[in-house]
């Protein structure tokens, strides 16, 4: 198997950027991860090695106007990438309501060199089709940077499922066919809608960061061989699905193992575990 990339992780608890008890507790409450502790980089490396993962995409979230909070800043992401550039892929986030949103994003791409943009319409409280987003999408196109949208259920506080149905994103895919974007969490529970969009729009990707019921093996089997046709991903969507864990909320090790038990061809596993992420990242 080639390089393995986890396209969906949250670095809020990584020790170099979570240095005080006050910050730790703030992030626990903000992410709804109430008992998670700080993790030193050696522990992160151990987790990655056990799960067979070579690189992690680190996703921040800018909640400046909605919650007066940067749930990991773009600068902190850059700091982590600088600490371990071989293992970390840094994404940016921007609150579209910030008056300086475009400048902040241009700084993140142009100066900080971040690899893509994370947006969370439910929690940042915008519609993906809002005119507010037009210059942001255009900036992503200009820099050839992909977008990861939160889609579907979120267990975070202050994040309803409004703006989270995958169908909300169809006009974006149609209007910007060269904008690569990912519907995170496979848009659960709307996984059939996500599959339909993947089938029609080659610029849409989805990640596997979903584990809302049962064990990883049971849930993936239910979703990918029950809610979806058993062969849909292996035959038709194999170039658009990326391994993502949503770590630390979900279990990186057992999710990675479970995906390998679904009966997908080895070539499909290579695509899902790394090659598609490389394409997505451009």
Partner 1 sequence: MFFHKSNTVLTSQYNQFILITGEVAAAIKESGVRNGIVAVTSNHTTAGIMVNEALECLESDIDDALQRLIPENHPYAHSRILRSYGSTAGNPTGHLKAMLTGYHCLFPVVEGEILKGSAQEIYFMEFDGPSQRTYTITVQGE
Question: Which stretches of the chain bind partner 1, using CB under 8 A?
Answer: 31-37, 39-40, 42-43, 46-47, 49-50, 155, 211-218, 248-251, 253-254
- Provide the token pair at 22: 């006050």
Nearer to partner 1, 38 or 64 (CB): 38
Nearer to partner 1, 8 or 180 (CB): 8
- The verdict on whether omega for the bond into residue 189 sits within 30 degrees of 0, i.e. cis, is yes
> Cβ of residue 43: shortest distance to partner 1, in angstroms?
6
> Cβ of residue 114: shortest distance to partner 1, in angstroms?
26
Distances (CA, A) of 62 to 45, 71, 87, 91, 125: 26, 6, 23, 12, 12
The set of residues, in sequence order, having a beta carbon less than 8 Å from that of 264 and lying 6+ positions away, is: 233, 234, 238, 272
Nearer to partner 1, 168 or 251 (CB): 251
Yes or no: say if 240 and 202 are a contact pair by the CB < 8 Å rule: yes
Nearer to partner 1, 43 or 200 (CB): 43
Nearer to partner 1, 28 or 98 (CB): 28
Nearer to partner 1, 34 or 68 (CB): 34
> Cβ of residue 10: shortest distance to partner 1, in angstroms?
11
Q: Name which of 21, 7, 12, 140 is nearest 76 in CA terms.
A: 12
> Cβ of residue 165: shortest distance to partner 1, in angstroms?
21
- The verdict on whether omega for the bond into residue 165 sits within 30 degrees of 0, i.e. cis, is no
Yes or no: say if 71 and 61 are a contact pair by the CB < 8 Å rule: yes
The set of residues, in sequence order, having a beta carbon less than 8 Å from that of 148 and lying 6+ positions away, is: 7, 8, 57, 59, 91, 116, 117, 118, 119, 181, 182, 184, 207
> Cβ of residue 250: shortest distance to partner 1, in angstroms?
5
Yes or no: say if 245 and 272 are a contact pair by the CB < 8 Å rule: no
Nearer to partner 1, 58 or 211 (CB): 211
**DSSP one-letter code for 14:** B
> Cβ of residue 104: shortest distance to partner 1, in angstroms?
28
> Cβ of residue 193: shortest distance to partner 1, in angstroms?
22
């Amino acid at each position: 198997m080639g390089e393995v990339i986890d396209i969906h992780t949250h670095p809020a608890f990584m020790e170099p950027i979570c240095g005080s008890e006050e910050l730790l507790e703030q992030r626990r409450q903000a992410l709804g991860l109430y008992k998670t502790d700080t993790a030193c980089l050696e522990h992160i490396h151990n987790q990655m090695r056990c799960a067979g993962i070579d690189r992690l995409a680190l996703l921040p979230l800018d909640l400046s106007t909605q919650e007066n909070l940067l749930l990991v800043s773009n600068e902190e992401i850059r700091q982590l990438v600088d600490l371990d550039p071989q293992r970390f892929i840094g994404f940016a986030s921007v609150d579209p309501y910030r008056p300086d949103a475009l400048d902040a994003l241009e700084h993140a791409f142009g100066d900080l060199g971040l690899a893509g943009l994370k947006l969370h319409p439910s929690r940042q409280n915008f519609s993906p089709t809002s005119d507010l987003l037009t210059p942001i999408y255009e900036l992503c196109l200009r820099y050839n940077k992909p977008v990861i949208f939160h889609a579907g259920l979120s267990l975070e506080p202050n994040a309803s499922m409004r703006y989270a149905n995958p169908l909300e994103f169809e006009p974006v895919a149609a209007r910007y066919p060269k904008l690569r974007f990912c519907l995170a969490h496979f848009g659960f529970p709307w996984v059939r809608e996500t599959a339909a969009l993947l089938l029609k729009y080659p610029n849409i990707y989805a990640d596997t960061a979903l584990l809302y019921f049962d064990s990883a093996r049971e849930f993936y089997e239910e979703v990918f061989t029950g809610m979806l046709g058993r062969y849909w991903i292996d035959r038709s969507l194999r170039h658009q699905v990326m391994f993502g864990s949503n770590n630390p909320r979900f279990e990186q090790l057992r999710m990675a193992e479970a995906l390998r038990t679904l009966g997908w061809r080895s070539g499909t596993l290579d695509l899902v575990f790394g090659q598609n992420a490389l394409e997505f990242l451009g």
